[in-house]
């Protein structure tokens, strides 16, 4: 038996004796002082301090991934959290190592809520994806530590399982509706009940020719071109073809990705009604939220929104007014597990379900955080599948797994994911970003 296990066994034994004494009114110090037993005196786990906070960056599959490692005063006990903002990864690294590390060292690892609140306002000007991702890495790592201390998976600390595993949707695309339908059929054979369908990628950018702005030398060679009119015409044809080929048993999703003018987005959503999609995602940019009322009045198609929101308060009005049906949170973007749980709980009161963002630019630690919340919240809706490469699994042992359309966590204490830092170093990050999309004349299309 290792010394650590021996220490924990003695600790638990001591906890049992101390608890019994407290119940019988026999706590000697409290009796001598004629005081009630304080919570600290009943705490069977010794206090732990944060000794170091650092960022680990890697890009094994192309996307920049950032993990925060929080080390503690108990040798060998640390936590990991996802802080991935892939487009501005080095800015997040700086926020963690130059500011968050100094802010955290010496603080109690158990005070997660206090740590989150104080970190959120410590820069005075708060919010934004850089600072929120840094806080998220800290928050998730603290939950990871708390689960390890309790010897429980994090979902147990959030209330326990509401389902045996996490149903997920995956992505099908193709240059023709038939090609996309073929992919859907293949995923159905793998056990997926939910598939998001696109034609030529987001907005059909892979299907367009050379735009006028490129002929005129405007913009950069890598800038993408979207033919919005063609996209508007293609969406209902895509849904019709997939439904005809794949039948009614599969749930179909689609992402507009905020790339249309509001009235055009309403047209597209309405055009999918005959094919009863599971949801249409991101019809408007965050700057155009006022259009949701008009969209609600125009259609009964379920809607998902929120992956670009930075502040959890941005969810308050749309949820309480039932402007959309699915909470599309990127958990590291809003600051971690703690704020995500608050938004999920708010949604429960208004019949709004969760649909956490889980693309390739979320680390396996972040996918695990998604899954642990998914298991614990009653108003779960759907989860984006974690398609983690073999190389990423080697770097992140314990990553969630996919089987029969479900995501599974490994039931280890905490979030259950570790990191091989030596291997991670072999795949350094980069500064490339591919989110520049233009109209034919060169006008930027949001997001």
Instruction: Give the active site residues.
Output: 202, 257
Q: What CA–CA distance (Å, rounded) separates 255 from 246?
A: 19
> Which three-class secondary structure state does DSSP give residue 177?
helix
Q: What CA–CA distance (Å, rounded) separates 245 from 229?
A: 25
What is the number of other CB atoms lying within 10 angstroms of the CB of residue 337?
A: 27
Rg (CA), the chain: 24
Residue from 206, 205, 223 nearest 214 by CA: 223
Q: What CA–CA distance (Å, rounded) separates 286 from 306?
A: 8
Per DSSP bridges, beta strands 166-172 and 406-408 are: antiparallel
The most distant pair of C-alpha atoms in the chain lies apart, rounded to whole Å, by: 87
Contact 71, 99 (CB under 8 A): no
Q: What CA–CA distance (Å, rounded) separates 80 from 416?
A: 9
Q: What CA–CA distance (Å, rounded) separates 101 from 56?
A: 13
In the chain, the N- to C-terminal Cα span, in Å, equals: 56
């Amino acid at each position: 038996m290792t010394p650590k296990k021996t220490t924990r066994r003695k600790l638990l034994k001591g906890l049992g004796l101390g608890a019994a004494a407290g119940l019988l009114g026999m706590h000697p110090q409290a009796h001598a002082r004629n005081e009630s037993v304080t919570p600290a005196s009943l705490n069977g786990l010794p206090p732990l301090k944060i000794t170091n906070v650092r960022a680990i960056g890697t890009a094994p599959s192309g996307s920049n991934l950032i993990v925060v490692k929080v080390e503690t005063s108990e040798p060998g006990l640390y936590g990991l959290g996802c802080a991935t903002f892939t487009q501005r990864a080095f800015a997040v690294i700086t926020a963690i190592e130059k500011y968050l590390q100094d802010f955290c060292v010496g603080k109690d690892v158990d005070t997660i809520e206090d740590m989150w609140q104080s970190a959120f306002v410590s820069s005075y000007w708060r919010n934004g994806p850089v600072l929120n991702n840094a806080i998220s890495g800290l928050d998730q790592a603290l939950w990871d530590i708390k689960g390890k201390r309790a010897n429980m998976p994090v979902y147990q600390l959030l209330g326990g399982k509401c389902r045996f595993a996490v149903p997920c949707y995956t992505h099908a695309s193709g240059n023709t509706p038939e090609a996309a339908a073929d992919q859907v059929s293949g995923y159905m054979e793998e056990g997926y009940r939910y598939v998001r369908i696109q034609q030529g990628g987001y907005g059909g950018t892979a299907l367009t020719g050379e735009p006028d702005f490129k002929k005129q030398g405007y913009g950069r060679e890598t800038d993408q071109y979207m033919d919005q009119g063609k996209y508007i015409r293609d969406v209902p044809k895509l849904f019709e073809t997939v439904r005809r080929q794949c039948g009614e048993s599969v749930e179909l999703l689609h992402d507009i990705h905020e790339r249309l003018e509001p009235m055009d987005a309403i047209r597209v959503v309405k055009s999918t009604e005959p094919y009863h999609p599971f949801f249409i995602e991101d019809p408007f940019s965050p700057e155009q939220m006022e259009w949701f009322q008009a969209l609600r009045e125009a259609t009964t198609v379920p809607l998902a929104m929120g992956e670009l929101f930075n502040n959890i308060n941005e969810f308050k009005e749309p949820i309480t007014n039932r402007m959309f049906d699915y909470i599309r949170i990127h958990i590291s973007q809003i600051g971690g597990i703690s704020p995500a749980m608050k938004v999920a709980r708010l949604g429960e009161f208004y019949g709004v379900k969760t649909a956490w963002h889980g693309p390739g630019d979320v680390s396996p630690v972040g996918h695990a955080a998604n899954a642990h919340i998914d298991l614990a919240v009653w108003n779960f809706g759907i989860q984006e599948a974690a398609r983690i490469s073999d190389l990423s699994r080697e770097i992140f042992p314990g990553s969630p797994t996919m089987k029969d359309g479900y995501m599974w966590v490994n039931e280890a204490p905490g979030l259950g994911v570790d990191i091989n830092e030596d291997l991670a170093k072999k795949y350094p990050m980069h500064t490339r970003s591919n989110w520049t999309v233009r109209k034919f004349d060169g006008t930027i299309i949001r997001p």
